[in-house]
Amino acid sequence: MTDRNQELFARAQLSIPAGVNSPVRAFRAVGGTPPFFERASGANLWDANGKRYVDYVGSWGPMVAGHCHPAVVEAVREAASRALSFGAPTEAEIELAEAIRRHVPSIELLRLVSSGTEATMTAIRLARGHTGRSAIVKFEGCYHGHADSLLVKAGSGALTFGNPSSAGVPAETAQHTIVLDYNDTAQAQALFAARGAQIAGVIVEPVAGNMNLVLPEPGFLHALRELCSRHGAVLIFDEVMTGFRVAIGGAQAHFGIEPDLTTLGKVIGGGLPVGAVGGRRAIMERIAPLGPVYQAGTLSGNPVAVAAGLATLRLVEQPGFQDRVAAATRALTGGLADAAREAGVPFSAQSIGSMFGIYFRATAPASFAEVMQSDRERFGRFFHAMLARGVYLAPSAYEAGFVSAAHGAAEIDATLAAARASFRELA
């Protein structure tokens, strides 16, 4: 039988670098040929061979209601029938902004953009424009998009400025970013004691999702809030993944912390390209045309993306929605841990809201260094064993997973049956 995935992958590589339009899709971390998907519905995907998979990637987060939810599809169809783009204001933009503000009290004003990367890039610029300072603090393993200032790895010491982690990022740009260890409160305190007057802002994933799922340790986020307040720096929560997934008000609502700026994406577009940056009025009024911090975008607030986002948020805010998806996620991670234990495979799993992490190490990691101790080779074997059994996980040991409202008992049970067989292969 002809493998259409292999055919398409070979064809794609003739026109597209590595055959993919985002690096993780190339399967370089796990090997093999990526499936090329043709359709999706609920919790399931179908590839070019017609094979069905239970999906735990969810387009990297936005499909919290499941793929092709009828209400979202109808909203997109209706909006597209009126216009694909205006490049001008619409009432729907106001409605989406009002819905976000209603659920995220720290956001007094917000600007819609077209992606999470654009949102974080704008947040960094706002922090610098508001404070008149240059230094930005980020954390090892946290990814905030591919803007130059944020593609930075740690310098030679904990309190030094960073180095570029990508070719094409000038050293003079990277030198304004300081990279610390996630969950290391003492390190952050030492940095602010030494250089607090230079720091424009701190950007952090309140729950890390780009080095696999890493939860903040008690007191870590509160310490960042206190340090930024004391030293006049801007605290930025990157909630592109966690917004409307960890809780209806995001991770900030879950942990009871108000950042100065918040970046959003994923869910607020319902799967279509949209993002937002919002926060305290005094900072957001720095953005053009009210202030000197410039940001613009023809497709910002695109009517079709806004329609998808509004329809998704209306589903997410229904009573009990968050609790049901969180319960399904806990059932998944608990069942995976049990299956691994029965097979004698070193493994751990955890979740928060509808996000989850799986790790081939005895305990869940609390830092980038601990994530790197996971058994990547064993993860790769598990990934392919699950893929062969119709379960689609993120093709990297360093990515969080996502459960949707469409994942019911049947999908969870099928996943755990596949996992038990897969773990036995690894034992």
pLDDT at 422: 98
Burial class (CB in 10 A: 0-12, 13-18, 19+), 362: exposed
pLDDT at 156: 47
Token pair belonging to 423: 């773990």
The full set of domain ranges for the chain reads 4-68+319-426, 70-316
To the nearest 10°, report the CA torsion of 302, 304, 305, 309.
130
Please confirm whether the linkage preceding 365 is cis (ω < 30° from 0): no
325 by DSSP, 3-state: which? helix
User: CB-based contacts of 186: which residues, under 8 Å, 6+ apart?
Assistant: none
* Residue whose tokens read 């008690």: 218
Positive or negative torsion for Cα 316, 319, 324, 329: positive
User: CB-based contacts of 270: which residues, under 8 Å, 6+ apart?
Assistant: 62, 65, 72, 75, 76, 305, 308, 309, 311, 312
Distance CA 201, CA 224 (A): 10
pLDDT at 152: 84
Task: Give the predicted TM-score (pTM) of the model.
Answer: 0.96
- Which residues in the chain show pLDDT less than 70? 1, 154-162
**Model pLDDT for residues 138-152, shown as the tens digit of each residue:** 999 999 988 888 888
Cα 211 to Cα 180, 206, 373, distances in angstroms: 14, 13, 12
Asked if 34 and 51 touch (Cβ cutoff 8 Å), the reply is no
* Residue whose tokens read 């059994």: 389
Distance CA 227, CA 219 (A): 12
Token pair belonging to 203: 């950007």
To the nearest 10°, report the CA torsion of 143, 100, 322, 141.
10
For the domain made up of 70-316, the CATH class stated in words is alpha beta
Asked if 41 and 401 touch (Cβ cutoff 8 Å), the reply is no
pLDDT at 2: 84
pLDDT at 161: 63
DSSP assignments along 186-198, one per residue: HHHHHHHHHHGGG
4-68+319-426: CATH topology is Aspartate Aminotransferase, domain 1 (3.90.1150)
For 54, list phi and psi in degrees, rounded to 5. Answer: -80, 125
**Model pLDDT for residues 346-384, shown as the tens digit of each residue:** 999 999 999 999 999 999 999 999 999 999 999 999 999
The residues assigned a catalytic role are: 143, 238, 266
Same fold, 4-68+319-426 and 70-316: no
- Give, in degrees to the nearest 5, the angle at Cα 307 between 235 and 87: 80
Distance CA 143, CA 317 (A): 27
45 by DSSP, 3-state: which? strand
Distance CA 424, CA 25 (A): 27
